[in-house]
Amino acid sequence: MAGETMIEDAGFYWELGGAGGGKAPFLRDAARDVGEWDEERLLAYLEASHEIYTVMGAERDVIADDAWITGAGSLVTDGTYVWPTELAHYVRRHHVALLPEFAAHIRARNYISPEVPREQALAVFEECLGDDARATAAAAAATSKGFFSWYRTAFTRASAQRVFDELAASGLFAQHPLTKHIFGFRDTARGAREPLVGGAHTLLSALASDEYRNVEFQSWMGRDECLAVSVRRLDSATQKLTFRISDISAPDREEAVAALVRTLDQDPDHCLGFVIDRTGVSAAEDWDRILTGAGAQLTVWPDTVGILRDRVGDQAELADSEPTAYGPLDVFHRA
């Protein structure tokens, strides 16, 4: 880690990017059968602190090798210490010991993580990642939010199966091609977050049930690349699928977009709208309202947007554009 004395490292075990040459302790050596007496409160502090650097995707649990950790490699700070976001996973799952001085620091704060002002967070970010970190992050942000969102009529188990069969035929797999495991979560209507455990049947059941307002999982391209997918229930009749295409390497993004378009082509009559934005410039647009909700004005063009024909007249931005007919949609491309 870069920096002098402003920020202290905590939790950078050798397996989590700590210094080589035997300087960093090994994560496996810190795992224990039983956690600290106040482990839950320590965990609450770790998870409530400020994330200053976000990595998309997931990494395998290096101790058990039986679970995926979303966002592994991201950095979190409380303004005094900085640690990798996956440290919380290892504390919860394997009761990994925190550095004694770090644990004492958390207890001295009564387990309450302080607010970290923006300028302080940026200073910590630059110290940890180097003098050019802010410029590098700004450049990366231009392509870090690329997405493909697809609005459709709510899934039944059968229609979800058909969509995932089409995705698989196009090279995108909800199950890991080798292990056949599903990695993901589902959010209940009451706000509880549950892991998805089991095979494809678990995912299909979650997508078809109105009990779950949001389902997240990884979609695989080959053995090593995956992109995050969220399926959000907007109402009883509508679901929104968002594929985070920026999660995969740049050379493979067009292949992923082509696979998604091929899948969309198989069932255009159930499509209520879609957005393709490779760089995420329109990520702040209220696409839910523009495409299926009470209406909002389109102010930033994505690469491609498909909108129900009877809603096109509500968008002044589209008045001078020539659409392509696509089932019940008109499709517009950025000039």
Average pLDDT along the chain: 84
Q: How far is CA 335 from the centre of its chain?
A: 29
Q: Burial of 192 by CB count in 10 Å (0-12 exposed, 13-18 middle, 19+ buried)?
A: exposed
Task: Give strand pairing partners of 70.
Answer: 58
Using alpha carbons only, give the angle 67, 70, 71 rounded to the nearest 5 degrees. Answer: 140
Q: Tens of pLDDT along 100-110?
A: 999 999 999 99
Q: How confident is the model at residue 18 (pLDDT cuts 50, 70, 90)?
A: low
Residue type present at position 60: R
Region 308-332 average pLDDT: 89
d(CA 47, CA 174): 28
Dihedral of CA 273/279/284/285: which sign? negative
d(CA 159, CA 152): 11
Q: Dig out the tokens for 161 from the structure.
A: 């199966």
Residue with tokens 């550095």: 99
d(CA 157, CA 30): 44
Using alpha carbons only, give the angle 228, 88, 211 rounded to the nearest 5 degrees. Answer: 50
State percent of the chain over pLDDT 70. Answer: 89
Q: Tens of pLDDT along 20-74?
A: 444 678 888 889 999 999 999 999 999 888 887 766 456 778 888 777 776 677 8
d(CA 227, CA 268): 23
**Who wins on pLDDT, 21 or 313?**
313
- How confident is the model at residue 69, as a pLDDT? 79
Structural contact between residues 196 and 183, judged by C-beta atoms closer than 8 angstroms:
yes
Q: How confident is the model at residue 232 (pLDDT cuts 50, 70, 90)?
A: very high
Q: In what order do the strands lie in the sheet with 75-77?
A: 8-9, 81-84, 75-77, 50-53
> In this model, does residue 180 exceed pLDDT 90?
no
Q: Dig out the tokens for 176 from the structure.
A: 């890991």
d(CA 12, CA 83): 7
Q: Tens of pLDDT along 142-164?
A: 445 789 999 999 999 999 999 99
Residue with tokens 């058990």: 64
Residues in the chain: 335
Task: Give strand pairing partners of 173.
Answer: 220
Q: How confident is the model at residue 132 (pLDDT cuts 50, 70, 90)?
A: low
Between β-strands 225-235 and 68-70, what pairing exists: parallel, antiparallel or unpaired? Answer: unpaired
249-266 burial code (b ≥16 CB/10 A, e <16): eeeebeebbebbeebbee
d(CA 328, CA 271): 8
| Phi-psi category of residue 177: left, alpha or beta, with phi > 0 → left and psi -120 to 50 → alpha | alpha
Point out the least confidently predicted range of 132-136, 254-258, 261-265: 132-136
Structural contact between residues 78 and 6, judged by C-beta atoms closer than 8 angstroms:
no
